[in-house]
Amino acid sequence: MPTISVMYPAMPATLGDVLPYARVAENTSGRRLWLGQSFTIETHTVFAALTGMGIDVGFGTAVTLMPLRHPMTAAVNARSIAALSGHTYISGLGPGGRELQRRVNGRPYDKPVTAARHYIRMMRTLLDGSMATDDGPWQTEGIEIAKLDTPAVEIGLGVLRLPMARLAGEAADWAITWLTPLSFLRERLVPAMEEAARAAGRPTRPRVASVVHCALDRPGRNLQQISLKAVGPHLIAPHYTDMLNQAGIPVDRSDPAAGAQLLIDHNLFATGTADDIAGTIAAYHQAGIDDVIVNVCGLHMHEGPGAAIRDLTAITTAFARRSTR
């Protein structure tokens, strides 16, 4: 059944920052809190601490960056959170940009999709209790991790364009999208996943979780600035602007402010009343998206966490009300 869940929209500095979002997540249909890559308090450490505080939700990453940890470390991190939380854990992964790859690894991946294929294959082999070898970037000769009975670890892959969508269809449990227009998902990415899954002999495509940015249209609120705060760096990144242009949203890397307004105009940054935004979320579900991750990042950064939590609560409440009609 399609669900909604919650994104904590920043790099956490204290657990108190994250706790209100986790409380909202406890009352959503997905009962899951997502974090991205953190360079403040490390993401898996946040999840472990929240579990110790009694937060009863599943967790997921959208996404953590492959260059920062060996696949064996990623497997142990993921399984640790599944064991501690008692819930299925979604380990969402992505190769990051070429400059990050170069700075961390000394050189970028020759082929990021191939590197991701090696990475998730090694992770899955280890998590399944088998010995993993790799002739790709990690040059590993037979490693394994001790067996441990835990809830499932499901591997997610950050999906932006068709090559990664095909890999997700071939090998991932989840495809996780960010700033991806619904039409592009429905007409290009999901069919590519389905085709790749069939070619790989899988019974179904991976489930899809889509991060949807949103903010209520309140009096005096500058929605363009909120949109820009949320996704400004993405609107100057070549891989994101290429995807958006492929999807028919003519953003220009030289003018991210205009791009932020285009996202609102195309309802990619969802605004309006709480009921309007709930309707947008429902449209994702109707298009076959399995989990919509509600992200109030722009509000959190522009107006502060109090305003962000008010809108997040209003949106999730409106969606719950809609679902019971």
Alpha-carbon 26 to chain mean position: 18
When pLDDT is averaged across residues 106-129 and rounded to a whole number, the result is 95
Q: Is 260 in contact with 241 (CB distance < 8 Å)?
A: no
Compute CA distances 64 → 54, 55, 196, whole Å: 24, 22, 24
| Predicted local distance difference test score (pLDDT) of residue 236 | 96
Question: Of 64, 163, 146, which Cα lies nearest the Cα of 112?
Answer: 163
Cα distance between residue 241 and residue 236, in whole Å? 7
Instruction: Characterize the bridge pairing of strands 132-134 and 89-94.
Output: unpaired
| Predicted local distance difference test score (pLDDT) of residue 134 | 77
| Predicted local distance difference test score (pLDDT) of residue 323 | 83
Q: How many alpha carbons lie under 13 Å from residue 122 in its C-beta half-sphere?
A: 29
Q: What residues are paired with 21 via a beta bridge?
A: none
Model confidence at 282, pLDDT cuts 50, 70, 90, reads very high
User: Is the model's pLDDT at 57 over the cut of 90?
Assistant: yes
Asked whether the whole model's pTM tops 0.95, one would answer yes
Alpha-carbon 253 to chain mean position: 23
Name the H helices within the chain: 15-26, 43-52, 71-85, 98-105, 112-127, 162-171, 182-184, 190-199, 223-231, 238-246, 256-265, 274-286, 297-302, 305-323
User: Is the model's pLDDT at 137 over the cut of 90?
Assistant: no
Cα distance between residue 310 and residue 111, in whole Å? 43
Kindly state the helix (H) or strand (E) to which residue 304 belongs, with its residue range. Answer: none
Cα distance between residue 74 and residue 109, in whole Å? 18
**Dihedrals phi, psi of 160, to nearest 5 degrees:** -120, -50
Model confidence at 240, pLDDT cuts 50, 70, 90, reads very high
- Residues 6+ positions from 73 with CB-CB distance below 8 Å: none
| Predicted local distance difference test score (pLDDT) of residue 200 | 98
When pLDDT is averaged across residues 7-29 and rounded to a whole number, the result is 97
